[in-house]
Every structure is written in structure tokens, then in C-alpha cells.
Chain A
């Protein structure tokens, strides 16, 4: 039976439901695609019951000066409300409020964002703020949110954030990125040195299970970039990395 702790879609569903992943062990054999769809349905169900109240909050926010809205949001420390508000506010207004919030609270909010709508707000933040949020998420070991952050920020911010984060954090976060096109984009923006660092982390910390999942999702072009990065490793690690790349489509 699949260990639920090694299933990215199950880990994300558990996050959405606010329960430990072990509580969803009975769903471990459900196909990944079905778990992703089910998580979307659950998120929609939650939003459906909240939308009227949130639209009222959005209407109210329109008449409050942005610095006061930011102060109110920061003082309330309601990360879920702030995340939900960002989905109903005009993205430019939401980003303007977000710019005034402390980084640790922005990391709390990022963890509550619906990834389908997060690009609007996260993409509107200054690059240095995005990098700071990424570092905070890595320090918290919040790999789900870090993966979603990397998948939703512009290219320049991806480059700056990956440069500021350790290789092992990137391996763990990449494993949790659902959108293959975004995963491909992030890998293609990652420097060869950082890809080598990721491979080294996979070897040192035995993260091959996570890395294999990323390797399986990538195109041949991206795999070539990783193969080139593997050439920089010491002999023993290089052999293992190249074997993992070659065997990526075999059953684990």
C-alpha cells in the first residue's frame, strides 16, 4: 500500500482539510488525478459557502484607504480571511495591501491561498518580498506552499528565490508542484549550480523518492539540463543520479 506521506496530492488534500495526512490513509490508492480533482471540488465547496460574506468584505474594503485596510488585516492576524479576501479584491488592490504586511504573515497567507488564484496577488509583490516569503516558507519547511509559490511567480522572481533557497528545499517543494508546465518552467529557470545542489541534496538526504517524481514529470529537454548538472557531482553521487535519470520511468 502507498505510504500517504509520499503522495503529493494526498498531502495537499490533507492540508486543505486541515488534518494529518495519515488520517487519509484510506485514500492512498486513489489515482493522483482523482485526488487533485477532489481537492478542487472541496476547495470550491468551502468557497461557495463563504462567497457572499467575502463580497461584502470586498465592498467594504473599497471605501477604506489601503494603509488602513493593511493595518486592519495585519492586526487581525486572520490569514485565512486575508487569503480569501485576496480572491475577491481587485488583484492590484490586493497586492497593494499585501505589500504593507509583514513577511511572516504573508507566509501565513500564502499557505491559505487557493493556488488557482494566487498568481494575481503573489505576482504583484516586489521581487524582494517574494524571495523573503520563499525563505520564510523554507525555514518553516512548508514545502507545499513553497512549491505553489514557485509555480505562481514571474520568471525573474523564480530565479531570485531559487538562488536564495537550499537545494533540499527545492527538491521537496518541486515534488509538490501539480502543474507540470509550471514545474518545467521552474526547472528551466534554475541554474546548473542549483540543479547540482538539488541532486547533491537528494543523494545526501535520500530524497530520491521525491526527486524521481519530478524527473518523471519533466520533458527530455529539462532532463538534459539535469543530466548536465549531474556531471558536476563526485563519482559515486553522479552514478546514482544518472541511474535515477535513466530509470525515471521504471516502477519505484
Chain B
């Protein structure tokens, strides 16, 4: 994965106080954000699988169709 700068990562212009941070601090912040994004994606994926596991078999077909899967 190519590392993105904080300004590339964040949608829109960085607030002035953030844009003025030392480049090293910005790089560390970008990494913290990327880590959190990956962590959340994994958490959401696991929870969605967990939900499907308890979905009654009877409903699986109709649910998959509704979800476009």
C-alpha cells in the first residue's frame, strides 16, 4: 500500500491548525487514522458475518437478493 500524506488522506482542506503541524507529526497522525480505518473495517466485517450466522436459513435467499449479493 502506498502511504498517503495527511492532506491526501483527508477529504477537503485540512484545518489551518492541523496543516501547520510538523510534517513528522502529520505523518504519524495519518498512520493512526489508517490504522483506525483498517481496525473499523475488520470490526464491521466480523460483525456482519456474525449477524448472518444467526439469520434464519429460511430468510437467507431473500436477504442476499435484497443486499445484491
Chain B interface SS verdict (over half): helix
Chain A residues with Cβ below 8 Å from B10 are 38, 41-42, 45
Specify the chain A residue showing the minimal Cβ separation from B49.
A76
Contact A38 B48 (CB under 8 A): no
Given contacts A18-B36, A72-B51, A76-B54, contact A50 B67 (CB under 8 A): no
Chain A residues with Cβ below 8 Å from B46 are 78
Query: B3 at interface (Cβ–Cβ under 8 A)?
Result: no
Query: A234 at interface (Cβ–Cβ under 8 A)?
Result: no
Contact with A along B43-69 (1 / 0, CB 8 A): 110111011001110010011101111
- Bound: A247/B43 CA distance, A: 47
Which one of A33, A46, A71 lies within 8 Å of B54 (CB-CB)?
A: A71
Contact A78 B36 (CB under 8 A): no
Contact residue range for chain B? 35 or more
Specify the chain A residue showing the minimal Cβ separation from B6.
A38
- Bound: A151/B39 CA distance, A: 28
Contact A26 B17 (CB under 8 A): no
Which one of A41, A50, A78 lies within 8 Å of B51 (CB-CB)?
A: A78
Chain A residues with Cβ below 8 Å from B40 are 46, 50, 80
Give the shortest distance, in Å, between B24 (CB) and chain A (any CB): 9
Which one of B9, B32, B48, B59 lies within 8 Å of A23 (CB-CB)?
A: B32
Contact A45 B33 (CB under 8 A): yes
Contact A76 B59 (CB under 8 A): no
Given contacts A30-B17, A45-B9, A50-B44, contact A63 B59 (CB under 8 A): yes
Contact A59 B68 (CB under 8 A): yes
Chain A residues with Cβ below 8 Å from B69 are 56
A contacts with B, residue count (CB < 8 A): 44
Contact A31 B51 (CB under 8 A): no
- Bound: A19/B48 CA distance, A: 24
Contact B17 A35 (CB under 8 A): yes
Given contacts A72-B54, A78-B44, A81-B47, contact A59 B66 (CB under 8 A): yes
Query: A172 at interface (Cβ–Cβ under 8 A)?
Result: no
Query: A73 at interface (Cβ–Cβ under 8 A)?
Result: yes
Which one of B11, B36, B54 lies within 8 Å of A48 (CB-CB)?
A: B11
Give the shortest distance, in Å, between B39 (CB) and chain A (any CB): 6
Give the shortest distance, in Å, between B58 (CB) and chain A (any CB): 10
Q: Which parts of A171-219 form the interface with B (CB within 8 Å)?
A: none
Query: A27 at interface (Cβ–Cβ under 8 A)?
Result: yes
- Bound: A68/B39 CA distance, A: 27
Q: Write the residues of chain B forming the contact surface with A, with a CB cutoff of 8 angstroms.
A: 9-12, 14-18, 21-22, 25, 28-29, 32-33, 36-37, 39-41, 43-44, 46-48, 50-51, 54-56, 59, 62-64, 66-69
Give 16 pairs: A residue, B residue, CB < 8 Å, sorted on A.
A19-B36, A27-B25, A31-B17, A34-B15, A35-B17, A41-B12, A45-B11, A56-B68, A57-B48, A64-B55, A64-B63, A72-B51, A72-B54, A76-B51, A78-B48, A81-B51
